[in-house]
Structure 1
Amino acid sequence: MAKKLNLNIEIVTYDSLDELSKEDQELLRLAEEATFKSYAPYSNFNVGAALILENGEIVTGNNQENAAYPSGMCAERSAIYWAGGQYPDQTIKTIAIAARKGEEKTFIPISPCGSCRQAMLEYEVKQESPIRLLMKGEKDIYELQSISDLLPFKFTQKDLFE
């Protein structure tokens, strides 16, 4: 007999940066700043990410495109891989994402692509604690408490070894 599953994902929305902690405000500011350093001549879509580690260190990343499209790298993975390489024993607490089109200075809230979701989930599983996600728009800011919320039917190392 068929069963119906209900998935409940809590997303908190904020109307203003003032509603966030100073730490979150700074992360979002750095994510916005990182969009201006992206290399996106093909998509003209600039994405920046900033994450904070348990030790207080902040790492930023941005999208880097390539004429051979699959060779590019998203902002979220740029930041998370740098953090993993430089601070392998540090827990990632929060990652903030900002995006804008072309030369516009208006930010739009975007959700990470599937590859970034999977990469961030890997670190969440590895560190055995959730990674908060902040997505910045001009009017709305979205907060999720865990990357797992983006992948309710996730694929992890447990699927490989259990």
Structure 2
Amino acid sequence: MKEIKIETKFEVFESVAQLPADVVSLMEKAIETRKNAYAPYSCFRVGAALLLDNGAVVVGSNQENAAYPSGLCAERVAIFQAGALYPEAKILQLAISAASDTNPTLSPIPPCGACRQSIAEYEFRQEEPIEIYFMGEKGEVYRSQSIANLLPLTFDKTSL
């Protein structure tokens, strides 16, 4: 038997104001887009904004459904929309903001497992890392240099 040790590393910014200027703008778009979430069941709203290498910004918000598995997270709404609108563009950065209608959301909220897998697919495809910034409704913002930091043991086309 052998042991494998996996470490992750994040940069922590105290607030949106401490982010690099270009990321402030992207996070503000995620926060604004969060307001468009359709979340009547969970009352948990998420907004995502992607910066593409062609300069376009693509946004998404979570969209729920009474048949829970039929909904879609903000991150996947944005990523799939970017793939549909700009299939050749690379994703440079992803900003995510989450807030609850019923409880303060003060800790950074990372992408769920399904979103991590979807982000990984695009990162593998473009062969370049995607910077990921995530936060709650206010407070600290975490930065990951790549999805590999959030999903270290990935499943990709080489596994098939």
1:18 aligned counterpart, secondary structure: helix
- Give the drift of 1:106: 5.8
Paired residues of 1:98 and 1:108 also in contact (CA < 8 A) = no
The one-letter code sitting in structure 2 at the alignment partner of 1:155 is F
Match of 2:16 in 1: 17
Tell me, in whole angstroms, the C-alpha distance in 2 between the residues paired with 1:135 and 1:9: 15
In structure 2, do the counterparts of structure 1 residues 65 and 14 end up closer, same or farther at CA, with 3 Å as the change threshold?
same
Tell me, in whole angstroms, the C-alpha distance in 2 between the residues paired with 1:95 and 1:127: 14
TM-score by length of 2: 0.94
Match of 1:120 in 2: 119
- Give the drift of 1:14: 0.7
| Residue 73 (str. 1) matches residue 72 (str. 2) | yes
Structure 2 unaligned blocks of 5 or more: none
Tell me, in whole angstroms, the C-alpha distance in 2 between the residues paired with 1:44 and 1:149: 28
The one-letter code sitting in structure 2 at the alignment partner of 1:12 is E
| Residue 150 (str. 1) matches residue 150 (str. 2) | yes
CA deviations over 1:51-83 (Å, ceiling 9, x no partner): 100011100000000011111010000000000
Identity of aligned residues (%): 45
Greater shift, 15-24 or 93-102, is seen at: 15-24
Match of 1:45 in 2: 44
Greater shift, 98-107 or 56-65, is seen at: 98-107
Structure 1 runs (4+) deviating above 3 angstroms are: 103-108
Match of 1:35 in 2: 34
Tell me, in whole angstroms, the C-alpha distance in 2 between the residues paired with 1:63 and 1:93: 21
Greater shift, 101-110 or 55-64, is seen at: 101-110
Match of 1:93 in 2: 92
Structure 1 unaligned blocks of 5 or more: none
- Give the drift of 1:6: 1.5
2:25 aligned counterpart, secondary structure: helix
- What is the CA RMSD across the aligned residues, in angstroms? 1.5
